[in-house]
Amino acid sequence: MTNISKSKYKDYKADRLKYPEMENGKPIIDLESHKFTKIWQGPQHPGVTGNMSLEVIINGDEVVNSKTHVGYLHRGFEKLMERRKYIQCFPIVCRMCVPEPDTNEYCVSAAMEDLAGIVIPEKAEWLRTLNLEMSRLGSFLMWIGGQASSLGMGAIGQWTIGMRDFWLDLFEEMTGGRVYHMYMIPGGVRKDLPAGFKEKAKDLIIKTRNLLFDIEKSFFNNAIVKSRLIGLGIISPEMVDEYGIVGPNARASGREYDVRINNPYVKYAELNIKMITSTIGDAYARAELRYQEIHQSLDLISQILDKIPDNGEIQAKLPNVLHWKIPAGQTYVKAESTRGEHGFYMVSDGSEYPRRVFLRGASYTHAISVLEKLIVNVSISDIAALMVSLQTCPPEIER
């Protein structure tokens, strides 16, 4: 096996004085000159995270310019909700994100409760915390499989998707649904925990930790992974404010911003939780940070299971939801999804229908502005790894 560090190509850099020719800091891209090629990556490319496509212009195998195109997934949820009663909104919001639907459910329910002035029972808050943290874990397990697969390590993807399925089994016991749970409704949650749930969850936490130990050995200590991810897609601390970067992408660049800690919601204020940050800001730092957050998530789930009360109400009293009028007002409720700040802006005009519901997803900036900035000079084979390391999710962009 050749030693990568001694390879003569290691320090090779394309001669930017020749190609592409620059003018006012921007490359002159003339496709007729035969120096550039335009290719489309997506919407059916296996390396693209979901239904979006990149219009990439390459010079050799390095990206010169890229544009993100969305519109393959537009379902008009925000427009739909303007014509639906408040309670009819709640089964469609979870469809906005497949790996992590519960954050949407929580934000919409909490926004309605905030506008209507409803306080939910304590046990319902604990159950919401458990549900949110489990969905974060499921999404992270899906992400780590994607990150490994984008570098050609398909086996890790199969392990983690398999492990996520066991967590989906627990979701099924808890809520009745595997992918879309529709668990948190305005006023509380739909169901209590079934008998024997806590024991099963604790067993599964041990199994997941064992799997993570394997992943650490095979993924994070892998020479190929390190050589490809270190130095890829560096986000500088100045970029965080300029581009509105949130979540693990911002924390890996040193920004201490986690909604669970900065603006605690449900019961996160009563849990022992620490901010995880890094200062390097490249794709490997983001991967390591998310790996630590998986461990944090498991730790939080076991804390919640210990603290959850056995008895208590799980639903606050609501008026007849079919004729429910919420007082006029505006609110913005946010939560920490695996991708970062995830919020709903809801405007009520005092009628039975919401005036405006808007989803602020982290990928809206990560997949368009940030990706278009970071992708320049990246090798075409690393585009998939870069996209997964930003954890882009197209349903949040188009809604």
Partner 1 sequence: MEYLLNKIKKMIKFEASIKQRDDLYFITVKKEQLELILSYLRDNEGFTHLAFLQAVDYLEDNKFQLTYMLYNYDIKVNLGIKVYIDREKAEMVSIHKFWAHSWQYQRELHEMYGINFPGSPRVEESFVLEGWEEIPPMRRDFNTLEYSIKTYYQRPGRSTNDPAKYMKEKMYKKYAESPKIRRDND
Residue pair 144/229 in contact by the 8 Å Cβ criterion: no
Q: Which two tokens stand for residue 62?
A: 């390095």
Residue ranges of alpha helices (H) inside the chain are 77-82, 86-93, 102-116, 122-150, 154-175, 197-215, 223-229, 237-243, 247-251, 259-262, 283-307, 363-365, 371-374, 383-390, 395-398
- In the list 16, 79, 178, 202, the residue contacting partner 1 (rule: CB under 8 A) is 79
Which one, 76 or 91, has the nearer CB to partner 1? 76
- In the list 10, 38, 71, 154, the residue contacting partner 1 (rule: CB under 8 A) is 71
Q: Does 234 bind partner 1 (CB under 8 A)?
A: no
265 to 116, 128, 140, 348: CA distances (angstroms)? 17, 10, 20, 22
Which one, 214 or 241, has the nearer CB to partner 1? 241
Q: Does 241 bind partner 1 (CB under 8 A)?
A: yes
75 to 81, 99, 180: CA distances (angstroms)? 11, 17, 17
Q: Does 303 bind partner 1 (CB under 8 A)?
A: no
180 to 95, 191, 280: CA distances (angstroms)? 7, 15, 36
Q: Does 262 bind partner 1 (CB under 8 A)?
A: yes
- In the list 177, 330, 352, 379, the residue contacting partner 1 (rule: CB under 8 A) is 330
In a 3-state reduction of DSSP, which class is residue 342? strand
Task: Compute the least distance from the CB of residue 144 to partner 1, in Å.
Answer: 27
Q: Does 255 bind partner 1 (CB under 8 A)?
A: yes
Which one, 111 or 137, has the nearer CB to partner 1? 111
Between CA 150 and CA 40 the distance in angstroms is 17
Determine the interface stretch with partner 1 among 86-94, 162-170, 191-199, 237-245 (rule: CB under 8 A). Answer: 237-245
Q: Does 199 bind partner 1 (CB under 8 A)?
A: no
Place of tokens 């029972």: 121
Q: Does 76 bind partner 1 (CB under 8 A)?
A: yes
Q: Does 27 bind partner 1 (CB under 8 A)?
A: no
Q: Does 92 bind partner 1 (CB under 8 A)?
A: no
Task: Compute the least distance from the CB of residue 76 to partner 1, in Å.
Answer: 8
Q: Does 47 bind partner 1 (CB under 8 A)?
A: no
Q: Does 83 bind partner 1 (CB under 8 A)?
A: yes
Which one, 76 or 176, has the nearer CB to partner 1? 76
Between CA 380 and CA 374 the distance in angstroms is 13
Q: Which two tokens stand for residue 336?
A: 């920490």
> Using CB under 8 A, which residues numbered 344 to 373 contact partner 1?
345, 347, 355-356, 358, 360, 364-365, 368-370, 373
Q: Does 21 bind partner 1 (CB under 8 A)?
A: no
Residues ≥6 apart with Cβ < 8 Å to 122: 309, 312
Task: Compute the least distance from the CB of residue 83 to partner 1, in Å.
Answer: 7
Which one, 182 or 371, has the nearer CB to partner 1? 371
Q: Does 343 bind partner 1 (CB under 8 A)?
A: yes
- In the list 55, 78, 192, 352, the residue contacting partner 1 (rule: CB under 8 A) is 78
Q: Does 166 bind partner 1 (CB under 8 A)?
A: no
Residue pair 63/380 in contact by the 8 Å Cβ criterion: yes
Residue pair 363/341 in contact by the 8 Å Cβ criterion: no
Give which of 109, 175, 118, 124 is closest to 312, Cα–Cα: 124
Between CA 113 and CA 117 the distance in angstroms is 6
Binding site for partner 1 (CB under 8 A): 70-71, 74, 76, 78-79, 82-83, 114, 241-244, 246, 255-257, 262-263, 329-332, 334, 341, 343, 345, 347, 355-356, 358, 360, 364-365, 368-370, 373, 398
